[in-house]
């Protein structure tokens, strides 16, 4: 399973010959655009017009998670997977989709995918109700990955090791203010019984700027690793 960081909470996951894009917020993200200028060779992952994807996973309806979803979905005829309400909203714009709701899982050509609880809010740019926000657990023979989405620390995270295969890694928000901060993400990593954490939802805006060294040390002190990927960087599970 190959994971490429696109900035903020956006990732491309390549597994079993399929490409999934998670929470695409690339063209409005100044850090992603800066990275693209510095590394024109990363166009394939940082220019939404060039991004190839078979599936789009949206954790919730906020703009900083779905800004490029419609364009990427249309140019690839990609399948959107999200909450029932988010999938229905995008269906009206012509995107094909598969709806999920909390606690449900589905078998897809890229593996099993379960929609799990997140404590946050969710609404679409026009004010439409987006259902409750969520996260995903994705697993197949290449590994098991938890994508938390925007969330507070929650006891529900303890259900993940009880209901899913052993996690290989987890993508957790660490930027504080709108989600848990890194100190609580360390506790979350205990709840989900995972020691390989990939940080997201930090540094994009002033509200969520973090001290990278302090965040890494907080995990190190517990014998865990926090990976802070640069935009465009790949990580192999
Ligand atoms: Ni959000
Ligand atoms: Mn967000």
Locate the domains of the chain by residue range: 2-229
Closest CA to 99 of 113, 109, 110: 113
Place of tokens 């303890």: 158
Ligand 1: distance of its center to the CA of 60 in Å? Answer: 7
Supply the pTM of this predicted model.
0.98
User: Residue 154 — very low, low, confident or very high, per pLDDT cuts 50/70/90?
Assistant: very high
What average pLDDT score do residues 101-113 get? 98
Q: The domain 2-229 is classified under which CATH number: 3.90.1150.10, 3.30.1600.10, 3.60.15.10, 3.40.50.300?
A: 3.60.15.10
Ligand nearest to the CA of residue 64, numbered in listed order = 2
Ligand 2: distance of its center to the CA of 134 in Å? Answer: 12
Give the three-class secondary structure for 174.
Answer: coil
Count of alpha carbons within 13 Å of 195, Cβ hemisphere only? 5
| Residue 73: predicted pLDDT | 98
How many other C-beta atoms are found inside a 10 Å radius of the C-beta of residue 196? Answer: 18
What average pLDDT score do residues 50-63 get? 97
| Residue 129: predicted pLDDT | 96
| Residue 215: predicted pLDDT | 98
Give the three-class secondary structure for 233.
Answer: coil
Measure the CA–CA gap between 195 and 98, rounded to whole angstroms: 31
Mean pLDDT of the chain: 97
What average pLDDT score do residues 188-215 get? 98
| Residue 17: predicted pLDDT | 98
User: Residue 93 — very low, low, confident or very high, per pLDDT cuts 50/70/90?
Assistant: very high
Ligand 2: distance of its center to the CA of 109 in Å? Answer: 28
Residues lining ion ligand 2 (Cβ < 5 A) are 64, 150
């Amino acid at each position: 399973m190959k994971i490429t960081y696109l900035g903020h909470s956006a990732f491309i996951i390549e597994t079993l010959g399929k490409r999934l894009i998670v929470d695409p917020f690339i063209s409005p993200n100044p850090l992603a655009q800066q990275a693209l200028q510095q590394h024109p060779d990363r166009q394939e992952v940082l220019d939404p017009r060039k991004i190839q994807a078979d599936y789009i996973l949206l954790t919730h309806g906020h703009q900083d998670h779905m800004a490029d979803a419609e364009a990427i979905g249309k140019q690839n005829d990609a399948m959107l997977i999200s909450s029932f309400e988010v999938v229905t909203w995008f269906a009206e714009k012509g995107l094909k989709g598969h709806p999920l709701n909390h606690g449900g899982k589905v078998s897809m050509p890229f593996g099993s995918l379960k929609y799990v609880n997140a404590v946050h809010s969710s609404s679409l740019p026009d004010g439409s109700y987006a259902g409750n926000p969520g996260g995903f657990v994705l697993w197949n023979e290449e590994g098991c990955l938890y994508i938390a989405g925007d969330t507070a620390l929650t006891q529900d995270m303890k259900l993940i090791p009880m209901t899913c295969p052993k996690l290989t890694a987890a993508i957790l928000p660490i930027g504080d203010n709108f989600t848990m901060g890194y100190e609580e993400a360390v506790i979350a990593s205990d709840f989900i019984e995972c020691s390989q954490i990939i940080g997201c939802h930090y540094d994009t805006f002033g509200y969520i700027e973090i001290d990278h060294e302090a965040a890494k040390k907080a995990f190190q002190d517990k014998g865990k690793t926090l990976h802070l990927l640069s935009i465009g960087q790949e990580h192999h599970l």
